[in-house]
Amino acid sequence: MNQHKQLLLKAQCAVEENKDLVRQHARKRQWYHFMPECGWMNDPNGLIYYKGKYHLFYQFYPYGPYWSAMHWGHAVSDDLLSWKHLPVALAPSEPYDDCQKGGVFSGSAVEGEDGRLYLFYTGTIVNEDKVTKSQCLAVSDDGIHFVKYEGNPVVAPTAFVESDPKVWRRGNRWYMIVGGEEDHKGRAILYASQDLKTWERFGTILESDGTLGAMWECPDLFTVDGRDVLVIGPMHLGERKCTYLTGNMDYKKRAFTPFSIGEVDCGFDYYAPQSFEDPKGRRIQFAWANAWDWMPWWKGFGTTAQEGWCGAMSIPREVRVQGDLLRFLPVEELRSLRKNYRDYGPLHLYEWSRMEIEAGDGVHCEILAVLSLQETAAERLIFQVRCADGVQGGNNRCTKLIFDLREGRLTVDRNGADDWSTGRKSCKLRLLSQESLLIHIFMDTVSVELFTDDYTTAFSTNIYPEEACTELYVRAEGGGASFLSFETWGMRRVCR
Ligand code: FRU
């Protein structure tokens, strides 16, 4: 048995040993957000619809709930929501990817013309702080067992650090985009190939003009609604950590010309999104619902590591274009999880009043409300979620989602969420329509995902309140507030 197979078996044994413990004892497992069975997870990798199933791979460390020697975990689904875990797909095993501080880094998947599944990843080696990254290939006949290509790496290390290959087909060519830096400027670099094995460097399609960060991670380039879109993870750029540029990709000139810029998600916990096109023609995106230590608001990876696991995905979102903006719509499959419907609308809130709302068990739920801007005088509208008085030594708990209608700002304040979370983060509220404001919230055991501004603004955050924190209020300040509709649901459990 070769080295890679042996290391995959070893990794899988660790999963089999630890997953039951997590299942039996963990209290903070999500109900409908994908998580590893145990150990550590970060970026989504290799998203693809292949031979009748959705495949999700992910950055994985099976031996403990912390980042170390990266593997690729693997799961499949029929509906993007309930996932079946498959054996670990890739393990660090070769001179170009076997490293405790490196490993099999992020990448993507394509179906080759021969019907086989091709995975591209960055082999990463760290030697006395010198980082060597190369782009590598692994291939599978059955979509489950992967063999690393004997000609690896398919793109040898360059003078600059390049990583996170995203591969796609266009016309009669394959293309690959990687993120990198040169002269302290983040950049996206394009390669091309006829056979997925020999790659020609086409060069930089876009680089930072000095305002977009020193290094770009996990680039994603795709066309949706006739527009080309480049998504990047610019490092060390303050509030920006997950940015999109809409524009035009000229394959002849090998250049991307941006028209507009925006944030994919302006919350605390959404990074390294990857997208793919599904058989229904939808552009679907997942992201790692967490943050890195280089982000200004970071304080740790949350409290679930105590339970032997760490890391969850966002809900799947469909990406659409509206003018110069992108819209991020929770996929329609999520409706199949709804239960315990409550209809509160139309609903009027008087000035300074606070109304208690029921949404499922108050923890695993969905809220869909449409505020009438015409009939609302309130300066601020505040959703207070996961609240409870006097838990754990008398602490009051609450996470606030604050819609500042006068200033046009959305602020999420998680300072009072639990014993662990801190921070307050804001972004612009566009108030695109003068008539109404849509507010759509998905809550799971340890996460809140908020969509507003006709889905052009998304905000994700993780919080870790006690189970008793189930109260939910809406409050209007500085005037009354009128909702045209106000609906809530509980959510079914599909992940364990
Ligand atoms: C992004 C990232 C990638 C890298 C991976 C390592 O979150 O830093 O650039 O490939 O994580 O786990």
Longest distance between any two alpha carbons in the chain, whole Å = 71
E strand or H helix at 326, and its extent? strand 325-330
Picking from 481, 482, 477, 483, the residue whose alpha carbon sits closest to that of residue 352 is: 477
Catalytic choice (20, 43, 79, 164): 43
Q: Give the strand order in the sheet containing 354-356.
A: 354-356, 471-477, 380-391, 395-404, 409-413, 424-428
CA pair distance 321, 316, nearest whole angstrom: 17
pLDDT for the residue 417: 97
- Known catalytic membership, residue 444: no
Instruction: Write out residues in the chain with pLDDT < 50, as ranges.
Output: none
The per-residue pLDDT for 405 is 97
pLDDT tens-digit profile of 22-39? Answer: 999 999 999 999 999 999
Q: Output the pLDDT for position 345.
A: 87
Among 40, 41, 43, residue to substitute to test ligand 1 (most atoms within 8 Å of Cβ): 43
* Ligand 1 atom nearest 179 alpha carbon: 9
Whether 118 contacts 137, CB under 8 Å: yes
Separation of CA 313 and ligand 1 centre (Å): 14
Centre of ligand 1 from the C-alpha of residue 372, in Å? 42
Nearest-angstrom CA–CA distance, 185 and 195 = 31
The token duo for 414 is: 């998680």
Q: What was the pLDDT predicted at 175?
A: 98
Q: Which atom of ligand 1 is nearest to the CA of 70?
A: 12
Nearest atom in ligand 1 to 288's CA? 7
Q: From ligand 1's centre to the CA of 105, what distance in Å?
A: 6
Ligand 1 centre and the CA of 342: distance in Å?
41
Q: Which residues line ligand 1 (CB under 6 A)?
A: 42-43, 59, 70, 105-106, 122, 163-164, 217-218, 271-272
Return residue ranges of the chain for CATH 2.60.120.560: 338-491
Q: What is the pLDDT of residue 393?
A: 82
How far away, in angstroms, is 489 Cα from ligand 1 center? 35
CATH architecture of 3-329: 5 Propeller (2.115)
Query: Would you state the structure tokens that stand for residue 48, as one six-digit string?
Result: 């693809």
Q: Which atom of ligand 1 is nearest to the CA of 107?
A: 10
Q: pTM of this prediction? A: 0.97
- Residue 118 to residues 45, 82, 190, 451: CA-CA distances in angstroms? 12, 24, 18, 34
The protein residue with its alpha carbon nearest to ligand 1, atom 6, reads 105
Ranges in the chain annotated CATH 2.115.10.20? 3-329
- Amino acid of residue 247: G
Which helix (H) or strand (E) is 271 found in, with range? strand 271-277
**Per-residue pLDDT at 42:** 98
Structure tokens at 116: 């086989």
Question: 338-491 adopts what CATH topology?
Answer: Jelly Rolls (2.60.120)
- Ligand 1 centroid to residue 332 C-alpha, Å: 29
DSSP bridge pairs for 482: 348, 372
CA of 164, closest atom in ligand 1: 10
